[in-house]
Structure 1
Amino acid sequence: MLASAQTLGRAAPAHRASRRCSKVTCSAAVSTPTTLSPSQRIAFKSDPSYTFAPIINGCWQLAGGHGNEVFNGIGEKLESHAAAGLTTYDTADIYGPSEEILGQFQRAHAAAGGAPVQIFTKYVPNIFQQRPTPASVEAAVRRSLAKLQVDKLDLVQMHWWDYGIPGMADAALALADLQAKGLIRFVGTTNMDTQALAKIVDAGVDVAVNQVQFSLLDRRPLNGMVQYCSERGIKIFAYGSVGGGLLSDRYYEAPKPPGLFGGKPRYNSFDLNTSSLKMYWNVCKQFGGQDLWRELLEVLNTIAQKHNVSIANVSVRWIMQQGDGKTVYPLVGLRGTRHIADNLRALSLQLDAEDNAAIEQVLSKSKGPTGDCYSFERGN
């Protein structure tokens, strides 16, 4: 994810799988995957011996715009997630001091005899100022190596801001060359649409993963990306899976009756107090606005109570069950430690046909966002 955040809501109180086509999306066939646990690991297609956690800790809050409290006790926060089995962290070369913080953490964690952790980063060149060359790509990779204090980067995911600027496939091939030299273990992409991803794959790059926004509010990956990746063994890392918290218990509330003069049910006002919430609210407006979002939360709350889980769990599990059930894995913002136990419950949850039918009834009313991944963000 690029410079945005998500915060899972508080845990809920103990309290059809089918091919579907709507006005906005047509999904790939939905399977019923087996449940997971943190001890179960996921592998990229090219190396089954290297594995990562089924929920990935997103560290984009360290890019700024989310308050200084994000940095308070960051070492303990990182360690607590690893101790719970969530050993995989996602960062980027543009996320402020994130790479340095993770490098220091990994070094201390290993010195203390901790289990291996995985740190995934990104290569985000400023293509508006300078076209990447093999030398500049290598220089960027070596900067990340130094900050993360490692000899080989686990995964480098390339972003390309504007498809109209040439050089995208060449930059990805430069990363592949560095992979062949042993500086990178896996090469991936982020925010690529299906056509751009296919261009990179067809150029000969062994793409392990594409990281894109994917949630009940933003189903654009179902417009081709999920099917493309499932067929080729490419993983999808999904950021925004709970819409910055919009798809969590934090924002669920029973509607207040209309006022004396009638009208729609009323809800409390809320503060879009982070850069991520502002971004996801724009997505929510394209989804259908406050009324449809509130209707979705009501359905998600009913499902959450049925399974004794949180709304965030239902939201996360829904994306994991798309496609073949073995392709999509969520990134969850690492903001604190109080949501760790709740996050893990998403792995053992299984949404049934009744749950999916209830969700689909709401989704069928949605008008957007339309297009492929990261489309309107690029002005398409």
Structure 2
Amino acid sequence: MRLSYKNRAFTCASRTCRANSVRAYASAPATLIDASQRARFKNDNNYTFSPLINGCWQFAGGHGREVFDNVQAKLETHAAAGFTSFDTADIYGPSEEILGQFLKAHSAAGGAPVQVFTKYVPNIFQQQITPRAVEAAIRRSMAKLQVDQLDLVQLHWWEYSIPGMVDTALALADLQSRGLIRFVGTTNMDTAALASIVDAGVDVVVNQVQFSLLDRRPLNGMLQYSQSKGIKLFTYGSVGGGLLSDKYAEEPRTGLFALGGNRYTPVDLNTSSLKMYWNVAKQFGGQDLWRQLLLVLKRIADRHGVSVANVALRWVMQQGDGRTVFPIVGLRGTSHLADNARTLTFSLDQADLDAIAEVLARAKGPAGDIYSFERGN
């Protein structure tokens, strides 16, 4: 989950949210994800979600106005292709309203079930979080999404030194018992914080964290703990905002072509995602190590007949028992649907994993637990 509290200032212009009514593209893709590939939370076999989740953080701003073009048609095309699960938050600008309009039209048209995972991100710096405040926030999300029950609410807590995190999670659990929420989750919680919530009796089904070849902090205890408790990990940043893609896989220039230190094509940091993940890449080991990793991924991708992004996503999904980690892929258009689905058609073998591990062994960071340097630790 990408978070910046300033996202609250991004409001929904009514003409943007209402103008794009649901209309299927002329050649909507066939279903790319079948029922056997869908996943389940613990203790509920009647609820399934897609193994690749559509991320809606782009609606918070910083990715250009084109993300709003034909937005309802894009959502419908994703759902029709089997990408039926959408991740949002109460601070992602007009995201909940956009999804609410889609849900209403999709349901009226008899569409297949769609799952919407939202987040509760209280402003703990400016207000005391009480059970009444929690319920009011949840009801606002329900109204925006136009639903009687939220599928999943993931709690984020900005600063552990500010008290109230566990009590807020318990307030969400109370709303769950009253039927306002189906599942309770967390986001960006480190292992100790998640354990404190679980130990208090909250039935947490998922923790959303940053996890990629560039950021392997979940391997420092979170993955092991989550597996022991049956908690899923939804992962953002798994393709580094596009940094882990074919676009940047290139051999370094040499000789006259490298004069002035220009050994690679410059990276245009033209979105907020790229800017954030570029900082992660620098902690990983800088441009040279990142590019070396890409060349290894490219060789693996070519051998399997897939893309670099497929390999990056597949590596994340195969961590642990292979049934715990589910990546979130940013929703901008529909051109990558078929490519994303190819992530589910192959597995990395031991030779692939060993080749990747050789590069990762030279990485410098990021170190620590979940969201540690983002919190200033």
User: TM-score under structure 1 normalisation?
Assistant: 0.90
Q: Distance in 2 between matches of 1:129 and 1:223?
A: 32
Q: How does 1:1-380 map to 2 (within 5 A)?
A: 1-3=1-3, 37-39=33-35, 40-259=37-256, 266-380=263-377
Q: Distance in 2 between matches of 1:288 and 1:322?
A: 21
Partner of 1:30: none
One-letter amino acid of the counterpart of residue 310, structure 1: S
Identity of aligned residues (%): 72
One-letter amino acid of the counterpart of residue 318, structure 1: W
Q: Which has the higher helix share?
A: 2
- Which structure 2 residue ranges, 5 or more long, are not aligned? 5-31
Q: Distance in 2 between matches of 1:327 and 1:343?
A: 19
Q: Which moved more, 1:255-264 or 1:51-60?
A: 255-264
Q: CA deviation at 1:261?
A: 8.7
One-letter amino acid of the counterpart of residue 41, structure 1: R
One-letter amino acid of the counterpart of residue 336, structure 2: H
The 3 A distance-change label for structure 1 pair 71 and 263 is: closer
The answer as to whether partners of 2:33 and 2:81 remain within 8 angstroms in 1 is no
More RCO (CA 8 Å, sep 6+): 1
Q: Distance in 2 between matches of 1:265 and 1:96?
A: 38
One-letter amino acid of the counterpart of residue 110, structure 1: S
Secondary structure of 1:231's counterpart equals helix
Q: Distance in 2 between matches of 1:281 and 1:258?
A: 27
Q: CA deviation at 1:263?
A: 9.3
The answer as to whether partners of 1:258 and 1:266 remain within 8 angstroms in 2 is no
The answer as to whether partners of 1:38 and 1:84 remain within 8 angstroms in 2 is no
The one-character-per-residue Cα deviations of 1:85-115 (angstroms, maximum 9, x if unpaired) are 0000000000000000000001101111110
One-letter amino acid of the counterpart of residue 373, structure 2: F
CA RMSD of aligned residues (A): 1.5
Q: CA deviation at 1:260?
A: 7.7
Partner of 1:31: none
Q: CA deviation at 1:37?
A: 4.2
One-letter amino acid of the counterpart of residue 123, structure 1: Y
Secondary structure of 2:208's counterpart equals strand
The answer as to whether partners of 1:318 and 1:351 remain within 8 angstroms in 2 is yes
Q: Distance in 2 between matches of 1:324 and 1:260?
A: 45
Partner of 1:27: none
The answer as to whether partners of 2:33 and 2:50 remain within 8 angstroms in 1 is no
Q: Distance in 2 between matches of 1:370 and 1:195?
A: 16
Between the two proteins, the alignment pairs up a number of residues equal to 349
The answer as to whether partners of 2:249 and 2:298 remain within 8 angstroms in 1 is yes
The one-character-per-residue Cα deviations of 1:335-380 (angstroms, maximum 9, x if unpaired) are 1000000000001120000000000000000010000010000000
The answer as to whether partners of 2:257 and 2:263 remain within 8 angstroms in 1 is no
The answer as to whether partners of 2:33 and 2:83 remain within 8 angstroms in 1 is no
Q: CA deviation at 1:250?
A: 1.8
The answer as to whether partners of 1:307 and 1:349 remain within 8 angstroms in 2 is yes
Q: Distance in 1 between matches of 2:255 and 2:361?
A: 26
One-letter amino acid of the counterpart of residue 278, structure 2: W
One-letter amino acid of the counterpart of residue 346, structure 2: L
The one-character-per-residue Cα deviations of 1:102-131 (angstroms, maximum 9, x if unpaired) are 000011011111101000100000000012
Q: Distance in 1 between matches of 2:251 and 2:109?
A: 48
Q: CA deviation at 1:255?
A: 2.4
Q: CA deviation at 1:225?
A: 0.4
The 3 A distance-change label for structure 1 pair 70 and 203 is: same
User: TM-score under structure 2 normalisation?
Assistant: 0.90
Q: Distance in 2 between matches of 1:371 and 1:261?
A: 35
The 3 A distance-change label for structure 1 pair 371 and 38 is: farther
Secondary structure of 2:89's counterpart equals coil
Q: CA deviation at 1:38?
A: 4.0
